[in-house]
Structure 1
Amino acid sequence: MESRRVTLKDIAKSLGVSVNTVSRALTGKDSVGEDTRARIKAEAERLGYVPNSMARSLVLGSAMTLGLVITNPSNPFYARLISTIEQRGRVHGYSLMLLVTEESPDGDRAAAETLLRWGVDGALVVPVQGDGEHWDRLNESGVPLVCLNRDFPALDLDFIGVDYEHGAYEATRHLVDGGARTLCLLEEDLPISPVADRTTGFRRALTEAGIEAGTDPVRSVPTRRRESLALPWEPEDAYRLAQDIVRGGDLPDAIMVGNDYFALGVYRALTEAGLRVPEDVLVGGFGDHPFAAYLNPPLTTVRLPAADIGTTAVDLLLQRMKGRDDHDATEKRRLPTELVVRDSSRTGKSTMT
């Protein structure tokens, strides 16, 4: 026998009250007594009542849905971001529509079209950097947008991200203060603002320390993206690049990496060459991924404020959804990182942070 969806009418009939009373009780209206509200909620739960979101949307004139567009769900940073945004949105009664672009410009444009077609109330977007006019058009159509993690300075869009530049600067200064006078940075090969910001912070720290590099200390890692841009980082690419550095005979005092996955490859290349971390080479990472504290030695790295970014971004988006005055300034906020110092950048007794 096919089951039938429980309706407000079923609850009303079971309790001998009006459908209007049931509706007001379940939507939190003040005109229903607490005892009656408790009875109605208990009966709704007993009968297995599930609110009809589409019907509620028609009544409220809202889809009660937030869009979230990201590039790479396998990235631990984005996984935490998704979880935080979903939880924060749910507190305010919103569902989440998740779209993944896999770093594809076509996927980015398709995501903007999908959000417009489905009529989401607002969207949080990690853009594929390049031509972002489709996001500007979506915003102008009346869908409020907040960019996450990657800024589009040319577009008048709110932005909540990470202070990557200061994070890289602080980590590099830490390595310099630990005695490093020759350093190199292994960075992703994507033309995105986080990579540019980390590189700027790294170079600024060297300049302020009076360190002049004969050759460019920034090396681009071909990275993980052999089959799909949304695959996890592959340590193999950083491993091979670190092998080249070791074989070159001009070993730096310290190696910084743009993400902790690259550190896995660096560790292996150094170990195979009979070199020790940190005695022979200091190593610093970025991201504080779950495995960082369990490497041998534990990895000094930069912790990212993923949860704070998610919460801050949802709150700003909800504020914009309530109505933005034309005179309101676009917000551009970069939240601070935290340098987590572990044994890969210091000698002495092992510490697990």
Structure 2
Amino acid sequence: MTSRRPTLRDIAEALGLSVNTVSRALAGKSDISARTRRLVEAEAQRIGYVPNTLARSLVLGSAMTLGLVITTPSNPFYAQLIHGVEVQGRKHGYSMLLLVTDESETIEQGAVESLLRAAVDGVLAVPVQGGSDPWHRLATAGIPLVLVNRDLPAGRHDFVGIDYEQGAYDATRHAIEAGARRIWMLEEDLPITTIAGRVAGFRRAMAEAGLPVPDDAVRSVPTRRHESAALPWQPQESYVVAQEIVDRADRPDAVLVGNDYFALGLYRALAERGLRVPDDVLVLGYGDFPFSGFLTPPLTSVRLPAYEVGASAVDLLVERVRNRSAAPAQKRLLRPDLVVRPSSTLVTS
């Protein structure tokens, strides 16, 4: 037999107070004395009282919950973003409901339905970008939405992301200033705006320097996202592509990879052919993952403000939830930083 869940009335009877006083004390209302609040909190902890959030949401007309939808939890970027959302959401008094789409439009549509049933106050979402926009249903239901990291073409939703183009531009400019002239790029094989931004930044920097970009200089690296979302990138895939590149007579003297996992495969392909980083080939990464500074040599990489994106997105969403305004969609881009390490720095005598 299960025991009965402790209630506000149990606390009130134990302390000789009214249920209303107990409720206001736990809510931190200013008209309750500090002594009474301490007594109520102590008794609540003693008997194991936990607020009934469903009942509270019915009374307040708010679940005090924000939905967060991401494509994969294994990406270190999203781990930091989730942390930023959770911490900032807690500051505003909200809890978080996390859903994962695995880059599937079908699962994404199901996530929208789940959020509608959960009656969350607002939603933060990384869209799959497969061509559909199931998120407009939230607007119809009066649920504010902020897209995170990836935008949708229509541009009708609030968006908080990163200037991926600027990050790739800065990395490419750094390679050019270090003396590289034949610069290639290894990128993911997904049709998403983050990748398009990086490629655009790379091409812009090369064009400004008057350097050619051969048709095959931007190489697509197959990923296994659609087989296993838990393993979004495999160094093996970039290793295979890198082998083809380093065996060419016109081998590049610098390579920018779309994420730092690809650098692992590139490092191996270069080492097997007796080529050294950075003496023979400069290598620059994207993402600045935790292992990047521990490679040999340490990898230059574009550091992404993932935590800050999550926190900023929460602030914007909470503003929409509280004001319920019909103001035009806001677009916020945070700038990444290039962390320069020995993989792209030639030592001159």
Same fold (TM over 0.5): yes
One-letter amino acid of the structure 2 residue matched with residue 24 of structure 1: R
Counterpart of 2:343 in structure 1 is 344
- Does the 8 Å contact 1:225/1:231 carry over to 2? yes
Contact 2:65 2:94 in 1 (8 A): yes
User: Aligned partners of 1:3 and 1:215: how far apart in 2?
Assistant: 70
Q: Tell me which amino acid in the other structure corresponds to 2:322.
A: K
Alignment of 1:143-154 (within 5 A): 143-154=143-154
**2 CA distance for matches of 1:266 and 1:79?**
25
The CA deviation at 1:121 is 0.8
Q: How many residues align?
A: 348
Of 168-177 and 26-35, deviating more is 26-35
- Measure how far apart 1:220 and its partner are: 0.5
Asked whether the equivalents of residues 298 and 344 of structure 1 are also in contact (C-alpha less than 8 Å), the reply is: yes
Does the aligned pair in 2 maintain the 1:69–1:98 contact within 8 Å? Answer: yes
Task: Tell me the SS of whatever aligns to 2:263.
Answer: helix
Say whether residues 1:331 and 2:310 are aligned partners. Answer: no
Deviates more, 1:211-220 or 1:296-305: 211-220
User: In structure 2, do the counterparts of structure 1 residues 201 and 86 end up closer, same or farther at CA, with 3 Å as the change threshold?
Assistant: same
Q: How does 1:35-74 map to 2 (within 5 A)?
A: 35-74=35-74
Is the contact between residue 82 and residue 307 of structure 2 (CA under 8 Å) also seen in structure 1? no
1:344 and 1:150 map into 2 onto residues whose CA distance is: 29
How much is the aligned-residue C-alpha RMSD, in angstroms?
1.4
Counterpart of 1:102, as a letter, is D
Does residue 1:173 correspond to 2:173, yes or no?
A: yes
SS in 2 for 1:133: coil
Is the 1:246–1:270 Cα contact (8 Å) retained in structure 2? yes
Question: How many angstroms apart in 2 are the aligned matches of 1:160 and 1:230?
Answer: 25
1:37-116 correspondence to structure 2 within 5 Å: 37-116=37-116
* Deviation, structure 1 residue 131: 3.0
Q: Give the secondary structure class of the aligned counterpart of 1:322.
A: helix
Q: Which residue of 2 aligns with 1:309?
A: 309
Distance 2:30 2:197 in 1: 51
Aligned to 1:225: 225
| Residue 199 (structure 2) aligns with | 199
CA contact (8 A) 1:136 1:156 kept: no
Does the Cα contact within 8 Å between 1:287 and 1:301 map onto a contact in 2?
A: yes
3-state SS of paired residue (2:346): coil
Amino acid at match of 1:256: L
Code of the aligned partner of 1:174:
H
Shift in Å at residue 54 of structure 1? 0.9
Give the CA deviation at 1:338. Answer: 0.5
Amino acid in structure 2 at the alignment position of 1:331? Q
Give the whole-Å Cα distance in 1 for the aligned partners of 2:72 and 2:133. Answer: 21
Note if contact 2:74-2:229 (Cα within 8 Å) is conserved in structure 1: no
The structural deviation recorded for 1:348 is: 4.2
Structure 1 counterpart SS, 2:62: coil
Q: 1:132–1:152: 8 Å Cα contact kept in structure 2?
A: no
Bigger mean CA offset, 210-219 vs 137-146: 210-219
1:66-119 deviation per Cα after TM superposition (whole angstroms, max 9, x unaligned): 111100110000011112211221222222111111001111111111111221
Equivalent position of 1:24 in the other structure: 24
Per-residue CA shift, 1:5-26, capped at 9, x if unaligned? Answer: 2111111111111111101100
Q: Quick check: 1:123–1:143 contact (8 Å CA) kept in 2? A: yes
Q: Distance in 1 between matches of 2:207 and 2:197?
A: 15
Tell me if structure 1 keeps the 8 A contact 2:203–2:213: no
How far 1:319 sits from its partner (Å)?
A: 0.4
Give identity over the alignment, percent: 61
Give secondary structure in 2 for the equivalent of 1:68: strand
Amino acid of the residue matched to residue 221 of structure 2? V
The one-letter code of the counterpart of 1:280 is D
Aligned residue in 2 for 1:279 = 279
Helix, strand or coil at the partner of 2:323: coil
Give the superposition deviation at 1:347.
3.1
User: What is the CA–CA distance in structure 2 between the aligned matches of 1:245 and 1:95, rounded to whole Å?
Assistant: 48
**Counterparts of 1:109 and 1:316 in 2: how far apart (Å)?**
24
Deviates more, 1:108-117 or 1:85-94: 85-94
Q: Select between 172-181 and 91-100 the one with higher mean Cα deviation.
A: 91-100
Secondary structure class of the residue paired with 2:66? strand
Moved more, 189-198 or 244-253: 244-253
1:173-204 deviation line (CA, Å, top 9, x unaligned): 00000000001000001000000000000000
CA distance in 2, matches of 1:230, 1:153: 28
Do the aligned partners of 2:278 and 2:344 also contact (CA within 8 Å) in 1? yes
Contact 2:103–2:226 (8 Å) recurs in 1 = no
TM-score when scaled to structure 1?
0.95
Contact residue 84 and residue 307 of structure 1 kept, 8 A: yes
For 2:213 and 2:148, how far apart are their aligned partners in 1? 34
Structure 2: distance between partners of 1:123 and 1:254:
41
2:48, 2:213 → 1: CA distance? 68
Gaps of 5+ in 2: none
Deviations 1:125-164 (A, max 9, x none): 0001033331112223211000000011314100000100
**Contact 2:122/2:321, CA 8 A, preserved across alignment:** yes
Whether the 8 Å CA contact 2:102–2:226 is kept in 1: the answer is: no
Q: Which residue of 1 aligns with 2:216?
A: 216
How much does 1:226 deviate?
6.0
